[in-house]
């Protein structure tokens, strides 16, 4: 049973829904600054900010309807990137109405004000958490409707954007292809990310495509998400097992992420802290339950 807003399941494989090009797992990324129309009216512009946090860089998404465009995750305030965004929008005969953010992290949100100022557009959410209500619809015309879906977990303010007519969902850092994104503890939580992954898996089916905030697209998303939820569950069980074996909490990251390099270590540590917090909360709840019996 779905707890979220109804997502349009109907889809006709006509010209307006054709997938033009897609960045798939195992393929070279598009060049930063060279836009790719991955579905009708859905343009990917890879930002020139590749580093150990952003992998190939931030995926900026430009969704164009009938003369109206939305920029999702404008990325870094790189003048060239801002100019490329403008070119894509103008090239499609549109103007930017709204800047949407999948979450507050700077690699996604830094250029929000700059894009909004260039186009006199609104930014949503302007501040964190709850400002875009779940299920908000943005109708851009030409059968292009974006619906918001609250998907916390990586951070507390995570939002995904569904284009039901295209069978496409933009997931920010809630879901990535190739691996699970880290949990930004204490803002993000394990309980939230598991809930958000299950929610997306429930709302889409394997004909949909997820378009993440970094890296290539996710095909067969329901199957993929169930596998990734199982991965997270295994990690939780592994850490619970290490604690039961008497491994000190501060040693857990070294045990679990022995091969992670120094640059990725803070993200690994944040995910481990999030799992330790999840296990602590679960233990307290079980004790409380036990004491009332
Ligand atoms: Zn992030």
Residue 214 lies in a domain: yes
CB 215 within 8 A of CB 173: no
Q: Tell me how many domains the chain contains.
A: 1
Cα of 287 vs centre of ligand 1, distance in Å, is 34
Distance 66 CA to ligand 1 centre (A): 30
pLDDT value, residue 50: 96
pLDDT (tens digit per residue) in 3-56: 444 333 333 334 444 456 889 999 999 999 999 999 999 999 999 999 999 999
Quickly tell me which residue has 């969704």 as its tokens. 63
Task: Write down the mean pLDDT value for the chain.
Answer: 90
Express each pLDDT in 173-232 by its tens digit: 999 999 999 999 999 999 999 999 999 999 999 999 999 999 999 999 999 999 999 999
**Residue 89: CB partners within 8 Å, gap ≥ 6?**
62, 64, 69, 71, 95, 96, 119
How far is the centre of ligand 1, averaged over its atoms, from the C-alpha of 289 (Å)? 35
* pLDDT of 126: 53
Ligand 1 centroid to Cα of residue 224, in Å, is: 20
Q: Which domain holds residue 214?
A: 15-292
pLDDT at 5: 40
Ligand 1 centroid from CA 135, angstroms: 22
Cα distance between residue 259 and residue 256, in whole Å: 9
Residue pair 139/147 in contact (Cβ under 8 Å)? The answer is: no
Is 10 a member of any domain? no
Three-class DSSP labels, the chain: CCCCCCCCCCCCCCHHHCCCCCCCCCCCCCCCCCCEEEECCEEEEECCCCECCCECCCEEEEEECCCEEEEECCCCCCHHHHHHHHHHHHHCCCEEEEEECCCCCHHHHCCHHHHHHHHCCEEECCCCCCCCCCCCEEECCCCCEEEEEECCCCCCCCEEEEECCCCEEEEECCCCCCCCCCCCCCCCCHHHHHHHHHHHHHHCCCCCEEEECCCCCECCHHHHHHHHHHHHHHHHHHHHHHHHCCCCHHHHHHHHCCCCCCCCHHHHHHHHHHHHHHHHHHHHHHHHHHHHC
CA of 60 to the centre of ligand 1 (A): 13
Residue 45 CA, ligand 1 centroid: distance in Å: 17
Q: Evaluate if residue 2 carries a pLDDT over 50.
A: no
What's the gap in Å between 175 CA and the centre of ligand 1? 11
Output the pLDDT for position 293: 54
Q: How far is the CA of 252 from the centre of ligand 1 (A)?
A: 23
Mean pLDDT computed over 77-104: 96
Taking CA atoms, 235 is separated from 152, 177, 186, 192, 238, in Å, by 19, 18, 18, 16, 5
Answer whether residue 6 is part of any domain. no
180, part of any domain:
yes
pLDDT of residue 14: 42
Is 216 part of any domain?
Answer: yes
**Residue 67 domain-assigned?**
yes
pLDDT tens digits along 111-121: 999 999 999 99
Given this model, what pLDDT does residue 135 score?
A: 86
Q: How far is the CA of 216 from the centre of ligand 1 (A)?
A: 16
Output the CA 273–ligand 1 centroid distance in Å: 17
Does residue 2 belong to any structural domain of this protein? no
CATH of the domain at 153: 3.60.15.10
- Kindly give the distance from the C-alpha atom of residue 181 to the centroid of ligand 1, in angstroms, as a whole number: 8
């Amino acid at each position: 049973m779905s707890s979220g807003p109804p997502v349009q399941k109907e889809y006709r494989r006509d010209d307006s829904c054709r997938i033009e090009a897609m960045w798939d797992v195992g393929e070279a990324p598009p060049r930063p600054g060279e836009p790719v129309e991955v579905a009708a009216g859905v343009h990917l512009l890879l930002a020139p900010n590749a580093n150990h946090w952003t992998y190939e860089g931030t995926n900026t998404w430009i969704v164009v309807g009938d003369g109206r465009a939305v920029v999702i995750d404008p990325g870094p305030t790189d003048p060239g990137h801002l100019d490329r965004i403008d070119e894509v929008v103008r090239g499609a005969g549109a103007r930017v109405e709204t800047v949407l953010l999948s979450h507050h992290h700077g690699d996604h949100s830094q250029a929000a004000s700059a894009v909004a100022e260039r186009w006199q557009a609104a930014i949503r959410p302007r501040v964190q958490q709850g400002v875009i209500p779940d299920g908000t619809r943005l109708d851009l015309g030409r059968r292009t409707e974006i619906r918001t879906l609250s998907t916390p977990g990586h951070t507390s303010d995570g939002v995904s954007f569904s284009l039901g007519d295209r069978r496409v969902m933009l997931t920010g850092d809630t879901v990535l292809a190739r691996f699970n994104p880290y949990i930004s503890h204490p803002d993000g939580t394990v309980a939230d990310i598991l809930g958000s992954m299950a929610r997306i898996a429930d709302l889409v089916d394997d004909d949909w495509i997820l378009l993440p905030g970094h890296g290539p697209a996710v095909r067969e998303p329901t199957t993929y998400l169930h596998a990734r939820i199982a991965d997270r569950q295994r990690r939780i069980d592994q850490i619970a097992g290490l604690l039961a074996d008497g491994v000190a909490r501060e040693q857990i990251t070294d045990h679990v992420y022995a091969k992670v390099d120094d640059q990725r270590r803070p993200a690994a540590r944040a995910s481990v802290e999030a799992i330790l917090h999840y296990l602590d909360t679960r233990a307290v709840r079980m004790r409380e339950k036990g004491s009332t019996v």
